[in-house]
Amino acid sequence: MSERSKTQTFLRIRWGRWLAASSLLIGALLYLYYLYPQQGTGPRQPIYFSHRVHAGVKQINCRFCHPFVDRSRNAGIPAVEKCFFCHEYIIPQHPQIVKEREHYESNTPVPWVQVYYVPDYVKFNHQPHILWGRLDCTNCHGPVQNMDRLQPVEFQMGFCIDCHQQKNAQIDCWLACHH
């Protein structure tokens, strides 16, 4: 074998290894990003609350638990007390309800994990979207009535702008969102 072809073989092996390593890496990352179990399920909550059961099966109106959606920036998260409007009577012995009751009785709020959020430099306000945009909650939050654990929505700017343009809403940077 000539000196030249030796070098070529060496290079091939070297490049081959790099190729293998990087494709393995990319494969692993793709797997972790898209296929790893429960990627599409959304964060695990401290209490296993199911929107599918409450909003889907039981058909409870969103505003029963999120009452401030047309009155404030925040839709509001239900007080612990509110769970026991029903669960005083409905499956009070369920382990998750028992856990919730511990919070209730020890006066400690449940640290719900936030699923939907926008960056700090976006000043989102629910009010106009409900009052004048006439949007349904699911327009932005997805079909929550079908989800046990809520899946996050990536609110990229295009998501907002498309709708704002269609509905002829405010598209000025500051006056709309970024102040």
Partner 1 sequence: MIDLGRRDFLKLIGVAGASATFGCSSESARTIIPYVFPAEEIIPGEANWFATTCRECPAGCGLLAKNRDSRVIKIEGNPLHPVNAGRVCPRGQSALHGLYNPDRWRGPAKRSGDGQFAAISWQDAEKVLSDTVQRLSKAGKGDQIAFMTGLLTGTHKDLLEYWLNQAGASRHLMYEALSYEPLRAANRTVFGRDAIPAYRIDKADFLVSFGAGFLETWLSNVHYAAQFAKFRNAGGDARNAFVYIGPRLSMTAANADLWIPVEPGKEYLVALGMLRLIVHRELCPIPYDRLAALRRIVEAFPLDQVMAATGVEPAVMERLAARFAAARNPLALAEGSGCSGANATQAAVAANLLCSIKDRLYETHDFSMHAALGDSAPAGAIMDLTRRMDRGEIELLLVHEVNPVFTLPASWNFRRSLEKVPMVVSFSSCLDETTAMAHLVLPAHTPLESWGDYSPATGIVGLIQPVMGNLFDTRDFGDILISSGKRMSGQEKFPWVNFYQLLRENWAQRWQAGNSQQSFDQFWLQALQTGGSWDPEKTRGSGFSIQIPGDFSFPPPEAPAAQDQEFHFTAYPSIQFYDGRMANRPWIQELPDPMTQTTWGGWIEIHPQTADRLKIEKGDLLELRSPFGALRAPALPIYTVPPRTLAMPLGQGHTHYGRYASGLPANPMELFPADAAPPASGMAGRSFRVTVKKTGETFAIAHTDGSFFQHDRQIARQISYDGLQQAAASGHKPAIDYPLPMGYEADKDFYPAHTHKDYRWAMVVDLDRCIGCGACVIACYAENNVAVVGREQVINGREMSWIRVQRYFDRNKPVARWLVMMCQHCDAAPCESVCPIFAPQHSVEGLNNQVYNRCFGTRFCSQNDPYKVRRFNWFTFTRPYPLNIQLNPDVTVRQKGVMEKCSFCVQRIVEAKIEARKKGRKVMDGDFTTACAQTCPTDALMFGSLLDPDSRVSQLINHPRAYQVLRHLNTKPAVIYLKRITQEV
Task: State the residues that interact with partner 1 by CB under 8 A.
Answer: 17, 21, 25, 28-29, 32, 36, 38-39, 41-44, 68, 71-74, 76-82, 103-104, 107-115, 117, 119-121, 123, 125, 127-128, 131-132, 152, 172-175, 178-179
Question: Shortest approach of partner 1 to residue 57 CB, angstroms?
Answer: 23
Measure the CA–CA gap between 73 and 128, rounded to whole angstroms. 9
**Minimum distance of partner 1 from residue 2's CB (angstroms):** 27
Of the candidates 149, 152, 154, which has an alpha carbon nearest to the alpha carbon of residue 122? Answer: 154
The whole-angstrom separation of Cα 65 and Cα 54 is: 10
Minimum CB–partner distance for residue 80 and partner 1 (Å):
4
What count of other Cβ atoms lies within 10 Å of the Cβ of residue 107?
7
Cβ nearer to partner 1, comparing 12 with 178: 178
The CB-of-159 to partner 1 minimum distance in angstroms stands at: 15
Tokens 């499956």 locate to: 91
Task: Give the up-direction half-sphere exposure of residue 20: CA atoms within 13 A in the CB hemisphere.
Answer: 6
Return the number of the residue (56 or 133) whose C-beta is nearest partner 1.
Answer: 133
Question: CB-wise, 2 or 72, nearer to partner 1?
Answer: 72
Contact 117, 43 (CB under 8 A): no
